[in-house]
Chains A and B, each alone.
Chain A
Amino acid sequence: MKDFAALFTTIDQTTKTTAKTAALADFFTSASDDDKLWTIALFSGRRPKRAVTTTQLREWAAEVGGIPLWLLEESYPIVGDLAETIALILPPPRRESDLPLTHWITELKALTALDVDARKHRILDAWDQLDATERFLFNKLITGGFRIGVSQKLMTRALAKATRQEEASLAHRLMGGWTPDTTTYHALIEAEDAAADDSRPYPFYLAYQLEDDPDALGAPDHWQAEWKWDGIRGQVILRNGTHHVWSRGEELMTDRFPEFARLRDFLPDGIVLDGEIVAWDGTQPFPFNTLQARIGRKTVPKKLLAEAPVILLAYDLLEQDGEDLRDLPLRDRRARLDTVLGSVPEDAPIRPAPPLAFDTWDALADIRASARDARAEGLMLKRLDSPYLSGRKKGDWWKWKLDPLTVDAVMIYAQQGHGRRANLFTDFTFAVWNGNDLVPFTKAYSGLTDEEFRKITAWVRKNTQQRFGPVRQVTPHHVFEIAFEGIHASPRHKSGIALRFPRMSRWRHDKPLQEANTLDDLKELLETYG
């Protein structure tokens, strides 16, 4: 564990990507195969099955730390991370050990077979032989969410450096449903036929937001435009008589969308489709919250299946006859996609995402302005000559979203952030006027600069009226412009509405409190856009 802790410390102490990559590459050169495999797993969002609950961890840590549980609970939001809170309150270890990362993961897996007392004994015993950093990492293995400033992309680059392999082909090997229990380092990284897994998706190609005018992109006839749908980006894979559905977050969602099983009846084997999964009302997508009802469920009740059926709006073909098409230009992939989908019946849970016809950028701007009518968030622009790249790359794909909707709202509650933003007030509740009352209608966490967060934090500290645990009620004074992508009715909220992607777009120093928007204004927006 000491080498893994040293790796973590090096990564944590630098903000430079090159230094992080170098440290990881060193680790991938020197560590054992088991430790390498687990490191790859952890940095690609895989973790050992949780053997103890966080409630148990809190209770045991408070007991060992000699403090009441409530005091640990109060400290947690200030530290911003449970694994760290626990590591910080424990007394120093009484022993020292240097067992490898894989040992501790094996130890955690073994806990599942033990009763609670034995689990507790093992956890306390582990804490008593790990130093502060090792404890933090050990706790992280249990609590999950192993986010420590290393993206999967950065990890893949380091691995490519250490193994002298192509980054793109490694990225592809790391996709899919493997865990360290189902594979070995050799099979995953080194073996010849590593692509044999039928379920393995391709790394998604992601677009950047277009900040400037599309004029800068050159001649319009080099570009394809599509609606930018507000659904879930997904890949549907048909290979060897099986089908798999992957989300962009690399989550296997096959069981959540049973509709897609039927695709095997219409489509040839050996293909991979890229597109947007949306709930479909027969002619256009339902608003996102309809789809949201489906996402949370691992199995879908029949009623919901009938009320909110999903389809794939397909816009790319990545594999055909088992062959990787990603290096072909988009125009060719698109032509093949249209051929593949040509014979699919009307009621099939798939349809091509239609390219939009336009001659000039001005004409396209007009089309973009009507995106909300099409239940789209804006447009996607894709260069017709472009191959299908992996990850977020500038140049060939752009999203050209609609300007968000906005309201001016009053900040009424503030709460401290987590992690990097612990100890700063970053989580706010906003209200609009209803007569003389302020009605809370949304929370927002992002959009301000670090400098603005520091300013508002100082202000919140001086203007707290009341505290409810970590939440502070503040004097209504500051008005913020809240930007959002959509609005819909929600009986669960006091205001009766809910927003999609709310964030603070501007601190309206210029706006007096009384001039913030009203609940009636929101209802009007709901009427128009809901």
Chain B
Amino acid sequence: MSDQVLSFTDRGIYCAAGDFYIDPWRPVDRALITHGHADHARSGHKRYLCTEACAPVMRHRLGDISVETVKFGETRKIGDALVSFHPAGHLPGSAQIRVEVAGEVWVASGDYKVVPDGISEPFEPVKCHSFITECTFGLPVFKWDDQAHVAHDLNAWWAANAGEGKATILGAYSLGKAQRLLSMVDPDIGPILTHGAVENTNAVLRAQGYHLPDTVHVTPDLNPKDHPGALIIAPPSALGSNWSRRFGASSTAFASGWMRLRGVRRRRAADRGFVISDHADWPGLMTAIKETGAENIYATHGYTDIFARWLKTQGYNAQVVPTEFGGEDDEAEEAA
């Protein structure tokens, strides 16, 4: 295992030539981080390396950590490895990590999506020999409508609720999904209110120069009556809680790739489910894999067995990354 450029250990993806880990899930000396979601950027590492665009969010979430940053596309030499970060299109600042050792190139993609969303740096295909891909939505039933179409439905729903005097509450993960939704909605329909978890992330991203429409932070003394016809964006866990009851009559929705499935939509018991994901859909995964030109594909995070089997029928040397490594926790599902 250890003479591979990257290997899979019980702490995470390891590069022996550079003695570093990528998105490790147990404390290590040196961690290269693809993006700020909690299942990738964990606390407790001694040194962090990530993109400039990713660092502010990581500091915000992990507190006082030792972070070194690189620009997208900039090459860094670590031990015998050449390392560079390339946009993954998953959320603002998210990256794939390219690692080259003695001419052999591996790419750890972290989470990614190939379609531009208007706010994240667009996905950039990186040529490599071996590609580590997520497959959260690695089944042919997962196909996303284009964003303009979903944005139209989303705005129509909000406008209809506003017309009926109802509040519109949208559950979305506070980092990434929430900001993407903010860039999709039409601020002319009404005021946009945000839960603290969302607003704190907004503040970090605005300070970096990402453009977001004006939002109002929902504080305990905010009177919802002062904001008729509002759209409220909150983490999924806030829906149906006391926090959301203050808005009175409302229509609720979740935004996630899982909303493609009627069963999941119904289980979440919201009025609407918008199919909007930060992850690649089935055609997106196929495009991304093809464009890397890689022969070896390592499938992680998702329907790995099925996905690897399919890739084999397509002529790839595909393997499943051992399960202990692929954490599929609740948060990852909500963020999807």
Task: Indicate with 1 or 0, residue by residue over A403-441, a CB within 8 angstroms of chain B CB atoms.
Answer: 000000000000001111111100000000000000000
Tell which of A51-59, A72-80, A271-279 binds the partner.
A72-80
Complex: how many Å from CA A418 to CA B261?
A: 11
- Pick the contact of B261 from A13, A80, A149, A467 — CB < 8 Å? A80
What residue of chain A has the Cβ atom nearest to residue B313's Cβ?
A68
Complex: how many Å from CA A85 to CA B263?
A: 11
Contact of A493 with B by CB under 8 A = no
Contact of B129 with A by CB under 8 A = no
From known contacts A67-B140, A458-B329, infer whether A79 and B261 are also in contact, taking CB-CB under 8 Å: yes
Asked if A71 contacts B261 (CB within 8 A), the reply is no
Contact of B306 with A by CB under 8 A = yes
From known contacts A71-B306, A423-B263, A424-B267, infer whether A79 and B327 are also in contact, taking CB-CB under 8 Å: no
**Residue among B266, B271, B323, B327 with max Cβ neighbours from chain A (10 Å):** B266
From known contacts A79-B261, A419-B263, infer whether A89 and B303 are also in contact, taking CB-CB under 8 Å: no
Asked if A423 contacts B139 (CB within 8 A), the reply is no
Q: Within 8 Å CB of B266, what residues of A? A: 12, 149, 419-420
Complex: how many Å from CA A74 to CA B304?
A: 12
Contact of B221 with A by CB under 8 A = no
Contact of A449 with B by CB under 8 A = no
What residue of chain A has the Cβ atom nearest to residue B260's Cβ?
A88
**Residue among A14, A65, A72, A420 with max Cβ neighbours from chain B (10 Å):** A420
Complex: how many Å from CA A15 to CA B267?
A: 10
Complex: how many Å from CA A70 to CA B305?
A: 13
Q: Within 8 Å CB of B313, what residues of A? A: 68
Complex: how many Å from CA A458 to CA B333?
A: 10
Query: Measured between C-beta atoms, what is the minimum distance from A136 to chain B in Å?
Result: 8
A-B contact pairs, 5 of them (CB 8 A): A68-B313, A70-B309, A71-B310, A80-B261, A419-B266
Complex: how many Å from CA A424 to CA B142?
A: 17
- Pick the contact of B263 from A68, A79, A461 — CB < 8 Å? A79
Q: How many residues of B contact A (CB 8 A)?
A: 28
Asked if B141 contacts A85 (CB within 8 A), the reply is yes
Beyond A71-B139, A422-B264, 4 additional contacts (C-beta under 8 Å) are A74-B303, A80-B261, A423-B264, A462-B327
- Pick the contact of A420 from B263, B272, B303 — CB < 8 Å? B263
**Residue among B140, B266, B271, B310 with max Cβ neighbours from chain A (10 Å):** B140
Asked if B323 contacts A418 (CB within 8 A), the reply is no
Complex: how many Å from CA A464 to CA B139?
A: 20
Asked if A461 contacts B328 (CB within 8 A), the reply is yes
Asked if B258 contacts A75 (CB within 8 A), the reply is no
- Pick the contact of B330 from A70, A85, A417, A458 — CB < 8 Å? A458
Within 8 A of A (CB), among B230-269: 258, 260-267, 269
What residue of chain A has the Cβ atom nearest to residue B253's Cβ?
A13
Q: Within 8 Å CB of B267, what residues of A? A: 420-421, 424, 450
Query: Measured between C-beta atoms, what is the minimum distance from B247 to chain A in Å?
Result: 17
- Pick the contact of A89 from B140, B258, B269, B271 — CB < 8 Å? B140
Q: Within 8 Å CB of B258, what residues of A? A: 423
What residue of chain A has the Cβ atom nearest to residue B252's Cβ?
A15
Q: Within 8 Å CB of B227, what residues of A? A: none
Contact of B61 with A by CB under 8 A = no
Contact of A331 with B by CB under 8 A = no
- Pick the contact of B305 from A89, A421, A467 — CB < 8 Å? A467
- Pick the contact of B139 from A75, A84, A417 — CB < 8 Å? A75
Within 8 A of A (CB), among B266-308: 266-267, 269, 271-272, 303, 305-306
Query: Measured between C-beta atoms, what is the minimum distance from A525 to chain B in Å?
Result: 35
What residue of chain B has the Cβ atom nearest to residue A423's Cβ?
B264
Q: Within 8 Å CB of B269, what residues of A? A: 15
Contact of A128 with B by CB under 8 A = no
Contact of B11 with A by CB under 8 A = no
Query: Measured between C-beta atoms, what is the minimum distance from A365 to chain B in Å?
Result: 39
Contact of B143 with A by CB under 8 A = yes
**Residue among A79, A149, A454 with max Cβ neighbours from chain B (10 Å):** A79
Asked if B264 contacts A75 (CB within 8 A), the reply is no
Q: Within 8 Å CB of B262, what residues of A? A: 12, 81, 84, 136, 419
Asked if A81 contacts B263 (CB within 8 A), the reply is yes
Asked if B330 contacts A78 (CB within 8 A), the reply is no
Q: Within 8 Å CB of B142, what residues of A? A: 88
**Residue among B264, B269, B272 with max Cβ neighbours from chain A (10 Å):** B264
Query: Measured between C-beta atoms, what is the minimum distance from B249 to chain A in Å?
Result: 12
From known contacts A13-B272, A68-B313, infer whether A88 and B264 are also in contact, taking CB-CB under 8 Å: no
Asked if B141 contacts A88 (CB within 8 A), the reply is yes
Q: Within 8 Å CB of A71, what residues of B? A: 139-140, 306, 310
Within 8 A of B (CB), among A448-493: 450, 454, 458, 461-462, 464, 467
Complex: how many Å from CA A71 to CA B311?
A: 11
Query: Measured between C-beta atoms, what is the minimum distance from B121 to chain A in Å?
Result: 30
Asked if A418 contacts B310 (CB within 8 A), the reply is no
Complex: how many Å from CA A13 to CA B267?
A: 12
What residue of chain A has the Cβ atom nearest to residue B330's Cβ?
A458
Query: Measured between C-beta atoms, what is the minimum distance from A335 to chain B in Å?
Result: 48
Complex: how many Å from CA A13 to CA B310?
A: 34
Which 9 pairs between the two chains have the least Cβ-Cβ distance? A422-B263, A88-B141, A80-B263, A420-B266, A461-B328, A74-B306, A75-B139, A419-B263, A89-B140
Query: Measured between C-beta atoms, what is the minimum distance from A158 to chain B in Å?
Result: 19
Complex: how many Å from CA A71 to CA B308?
A: 11
Asked if A422 contacts B306 (CB within 8 A), the reply is no
From known contacts A458-B329, A461-B328, infer whether A422 and B139 are also in contact, taking CB-CB under 8 Å: no
What residue of chain A has the Cβ atom nearest to residue B323's Cβ?
A464
Query: Measured between C-beta atoms, what is the minimum distance from B290 to chain A in Å?
Result: 15
Complex: how many Å from CA A70 to CA B258?
A: 22
Complex: how many Å from CA A36 to CA B323?
A: 52
Complex: how many Å from CA A13 to CA B156?
A: 15
- Pick the contact of B303 from A78, A84, A421 — CB < 8 Å? A78
From known contacts A13-B271, A78-B303, infer whether A88 and B330 are also in contact, taking CB-CB under 8 Å: no
Q: Within 8 Å CB of A67, what residues of B? A: 140
Complex: how many Å from CA A79 to CA B263?
A: 7
Q: Within 8 Å CB of A467, what residues of B? A: 305
Complex: how many Å from CA A27 to CA B313?
A: 48
Q: Within 8 Å CB of A421, what residues of B? A: 263, 267
What residue of chain B has the Cβ atom nearest to residue A91's Cβ?
B143
Within 8 A of A (CB), among B320-336: 323, 327-330
Complex: how many Å from CA A336 to CA B305?
A: 66
Complex: how many Å from CA A15 to CA B327?
A: 32
Complex: how many Å from CA A462 to CA B265?
A: 24
Q: Within 8 Å CB of B329, what residues of A? A: 458
Q: Within 8 Å CB of B141, what residues of A? A: 75, 78-79, 85, 88-89
Asked if A422 contacts B305 (CB within 8 A), the reply is no
Query: Measured between C-beta atoms, what is the minimum distance from B271 to chain A in Å?
Result: 6
Query: Measured between C-beta atoms, what is the minimum distance from A23 to chain B in Å?
Result: 13
